[in-house]
A and B are shown apart, each in its own frame.
Chain A
Amino acid sequence: MTQIEARLAHDDVVRGQVLNLLRKGYSVKARLEGWFDPPEEINGFIPDIVARRGTATLIVEVKLGNDDWPKLFAFKRFVAQHHRTLLILAEALQRDEPEAELTSLRRFVERSRRTKLQVLDSTVS
């Protein structure tokens, strides 16, 4: 996958997650210029999506490359310090990856057929 293809795939996942979260009644801030306000920075990094519903907060980061870990570490620190906050790592799947990769997190994003989701940290009981 070229850098450009990776970025297009990343943006596709962000869009898919945003629409899904909206459908579920979340208010969303996302890095989709022209459509949503961008999320505020968290410990020095800006996540792809921050969604809120009631007192719950979801931080969704879509994996773009292998150098994401400082960002994820910063978000984990944030989640550890805040109640009812969930950090989700979303990853664009290659077309040949089996759908079985999708885990029980379907309850968050059932329709993301090409997206693998992983809860990295949570203060949601």
Chain B
Amino acid sequence: MTSQDNRERFKLALCEFLGERAQGPDVLEGLRISDTWHLEEILSSILIDDQVPLTREKFNQLMLHCGRLLASRFFFEYFFSKVRSISDFEAAVLRFRIKAMWLFGNFRTAFRILSRLRDDQFQSCMNSTEPFAESDFLLRSGPDKHDHENEDSGDPMKEFEPIPNEDLYLLGFISGKLLADLKFCYGTIRELLLDPQQVGSVLAKLGAERQAKVAETLRRQGLAFPSEGTSGLDHGSLASLSSALSKQVAELEARTKTAEEKAVRNTKRYLTLSRIDVYVATSMRCEEDYRRHREFVDSVFQHPKVRPLRLRYFDPTLSHDPNRITKGLVESLMLRRASVTIYSAGEKESLGKDSELASTLAQGKPVIVYVPAGPKMDERAQMFSVTHPLGLQIDSRTGVAHGILVVRSEDQCALTLRKLLLRELTFGIVNDGQNVLLVEEDTKCVVRVVSQNELLTHAFWTFFHAGNTGSAWRRGSIGPAEQDG
């Protein structure tokens, strides 16, 4: 590689560091504020054959040439003090860009802020991106994780009352209507039994639609009832129907009551927990959904790589309140408290679950989307990770666009959760021509973006910081964006 090639590599990396698009053969042409000879002079002192003896003084001279602020000692030491070659410089720039995208969603602002932080502020900011050991995670997550009594007992969820898998569906707002429906059917049959001569008249008053629903509900329980007309509804058949249904209702009511009481107590326990690590978002439509969900939750949280982290998770299927608004508010609070959301995808999604995904991203927290393997679900996985324009949502406090991590197996979900919490995820940067993408290497998912659309970028940051756009116009405060691309 010639010295000219090395110079081009250095300039391209410098452009990337500064968050600028390299345009034309002289990639720094649009950037430098000094004369060409002056910039070349400093570059010549930095690039000596294959070596890059970069000092803070020289680095800051480069920043001055490019119209940028000077970097603090801490900044330089953290990113560039070990640079000895072009490859080292490129690696240092990549490291900076990954952290800049993760923390700030753009490069220029990242440098502007990071280069001026005090030592303790800078360390704290960088520490938030560094991996830590399992023992440190347990310490940082709260004293209760290191409570010896808890460690001995082993299960961080031990205070929660388990609900039998086969009864979980009785708690669902959509799927748990069975008891109410059966009771209505039972009431209808008792009405008909009052005067079997008037069956036709009573059913007419009930209405064709409701009669069909009674028939369908009973059919699912293995009981025959005409969906229209009165065929077969004599006193004997009604009495035997009533007797069979009475037993089913009594048994279901007892199970529902027990499950609800446990789940209501669990809700109260969730409300007073000192910490919640993970929110598991799910939507349930039938008994089978509950069984699959429970298997999935057990498989992730009992995974040998996750169990040692002693995570407390909010599982909506273990919690209940008969009032949908109360339950919704409880779930919103749990979502707010958890550090990460796991979204378990089905063939169809629900408004609630999608809202939980969007709300987590808007709070600047990560979402792992589990899409079970299988040809039917490949399209859904593709939709989540590639095609859906709202697969990225902005953090409402910082404006940074956050993407989701799509996993295709329970094992991958557990490993991704562990890496996420221990900050062991690794990233690469891809330029798709219109955006710079921060891509998580295992899942190949885009987790941050920097748009290269200059108008969008300028308008975005201008209005994002202005808050209410109308008032910004009225105040006439539309000016240079506080944060730029």
Contacts and interface: CB of A to CB of B under 8 A. Distances in A.
Q: Do A and B come from one complex?
A: yes
Interface of A: 2-5, 7-8, 11-12, 15-16, 19-20, 22-23, 25, 32-35, 111
Contact of A5 (B205, B213, B257): B257
Contacts, number: 45
Contact of A34 (B177, B187, B205): B177
A111 B202 CA distance: 15
B455 interface: no
Contacts of A16: 187
A32 B188 CA distance: 14
Contacts of B100: none
Contact of B322 (A4, A23, A34, A35): A4
B157 interface: no
B260 interface: yes
B322 A7 contact: yes
A34 B188 contact: no
B264 A15 contact: no
Interface in B190-213: 190-191, 194, 202, 205-206, 210, 213
A35 B261 contact: no
Given A2-B261, A22-B206, 20 more contacts: A4-B261, A4-B264, A7-B322, A11-B183, A15-B183, A15-B187, A16-B187, A19-B187, A19-B191, A20-B191, A22-B191, A22-B202, A23-B205, A25-B205, A32-B180, A32-B184, A33-B177, A34-B180, A35-B213, A111-B194
The 7 closest A-B pairs by CB, nearest first: A19-B187, A22-B205, A15-B187, A19-B191, A4-B260, A15-B184, A35-B184
Contact of A19 (B177, B188, B322): B188
A52 B184 CA distance: 20
Contact of B202 (A15, A23, A33, A34): A23
Interface string B373-409: 0000000000000000000000000000000000000
A15 B179 CA distance: 12
A25 B184 CA distance: 18
Contacts of B202: 22-23
Nearest to B261: A4
Interface on chain B toward A: helix, strand, loop, or mixed SS? helix
Nearest to A110: B194
A3 B253 CA distance: 14
A11 B261 contact: no
B181 interface: yes
Contacts of A111: 194
Contacts of A25: 205
A7 B253 CA distance: 12
A68 B261 CA distance: 23
A24 to B, nearest CB: 8
Contacts of B264: 3-4
A4 B184 contact: no
Interface string B318-331: 00001000000000
Interface in B210-227: 210, 213
A95 to B, nearest CB: 14
Given A22-B206, A33-B177, A33-B180, A8 B253 contact: yes
Contacts of A32: 180, 184
Contacts of A19: 187-188, 190-191
A57 B213 CA distance: 27
14 contacts: A3-B264, A3-B322, A4-B257, A16-B187, A19-B187, A19-B188, A19-B191, A22-B202, A22-B205, A23-B191, A23-B202, A33-B180, A34-B181, A34-B213
Interface string B435-467: 000000000000000000000000000000000
Contacts of A20: 191
Best-surrounded residue of B187, B206, B257 (most CB of chain A within 10 A): B187
